[in-house]
């Protein structure tokens, strides 16, 4: 990536936040940039997300933090989740040192929305971002301050979604 890396935010209740991040990762990789894709709250061990093996196969680093969200894993104590999120922030600071051009933090904003992370903790993380690193935060729950801090923000707004009509999550589409 030439020049200054920006902070992008994809938020909102519509489909397209994670897939847009995947698209960005692919586009950057196509220009031979060094890309790291961090998943929050997705259990890559137990569940097959279509994109993961392709990302890895292209040489994109895939990292999986806090794979279990208590919404889906009812016996997980919330304190443990906060602890894991804080550890993830520390690991991300280490990732900052590894010379990536692009870093995607998928669903990190869910940690904020669900109060596992505090707003100032994410803002402090962003303050430590290396200047040349493009960083993409996704998830519902971007706050005013996060939006203020970001350079580019898209709200993926649900106009229509078939889950309303009883369509279940579909392989190759939602995962």
Q: Is the dihedral of CA 74, 78, 84, 86 positive or negative?
A: positive
Burial code of 14-32, b = ≥16 C-beta within 10 A, e = fewer? Answer: bbebbebbbebbeebbeee
CA distance 57 to 94: 23
Q: Shortest gap between Cβ of 62 and a second copy (angstroms)?
A: 12
Q: Shortest gap between Cβ of 25 and a second copy (angstroms)?
A: 8
Does 18 interact with a second copy (rule: CB under 8 A)?
yes
Asked if residues 60 and 32 have their Cβ atoms less than 8 Å apart, the reply is no
> In the range 78-137, which residues lie near a second copy by CB under 8 A?
101-102, 134
Among 16, 67, 130, 141, binds a second copy (CB under 8 A): 16
Asked if residues 81 and 70 have their Cβ atoms less than 8 Å apart, the reply is yes
Q: Shortest gap between Cβ of 89 and a second copy (angstroms)?
A: 24
Bridge partners for 135 per DSSP: 7, 103
Q: For the chain, state the CA radius of gyration.
A: 16
Task: Extract the tokens encoding 156.
Answer: 């993926």
Q: Shortest gap between Cβ of 152 and a second copy (angstroms)?
A: 5
Does 46 interact with a second copy (rule: CB under 8 A)?
no
Binding mask 25-44 for a second copy (x = CB under 8 A): -xxxxxx-x-----------
Sequence-distant (6+) residues with CB within 8 A of 124 are: none
Cβ closest to a second copy, residue 85 vs residue 146: 146
Q: Shortest gap between Cβ of 164 and a second copy (angstroms)?
A: 10
Among 129, 156, 166, 169, binds a second copy (CB under 8 A): 156
Which residues in this chain contact a second copy in the complex, by CB under 8 A?
1-3, 6, 8-12, 14-24, 26-31, 33, 48-55, 58, 101-102, 134, 147, 150-162, 165, 167, 170-173, 175
């Amino acid at each position: 990536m030439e020049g200054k890396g920006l902070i992008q935010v994809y938020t909102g209740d519509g489909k397209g936040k994670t897939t847009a991040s995947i698209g960005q990762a692919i586009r950057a990789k196509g220009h031979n940039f060094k890309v790291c894709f961090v998943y929050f709250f997705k259990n890559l061990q137990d569940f097959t997300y279509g994109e993961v093996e392709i990302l890895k196969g292209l040489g994109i680093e895939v990292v999986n933090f806090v794979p279990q969200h208590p919404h889906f894993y009812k016996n997980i104590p919330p304190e443990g989740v906060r602890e894991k999120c804080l550890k993830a922030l520390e690991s991300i600071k280490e990732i900052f040192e590894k010379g990536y051009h692009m870093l995607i933090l998928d669903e990190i904003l869910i940690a904020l929305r669900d109060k596992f992370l505090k707003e100032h903790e994410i803002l402090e993380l962003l303050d430590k971002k290396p200047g040349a690193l493009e960083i993409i935060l996704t998830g519902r729950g971007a706050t005013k301050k996060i939006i203020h801090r970001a350079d580019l923000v898209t709200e993926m707004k649900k106009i229509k979604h078939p889950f309303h009509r009883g369509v279940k999550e579909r392989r190759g589409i939602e995962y």
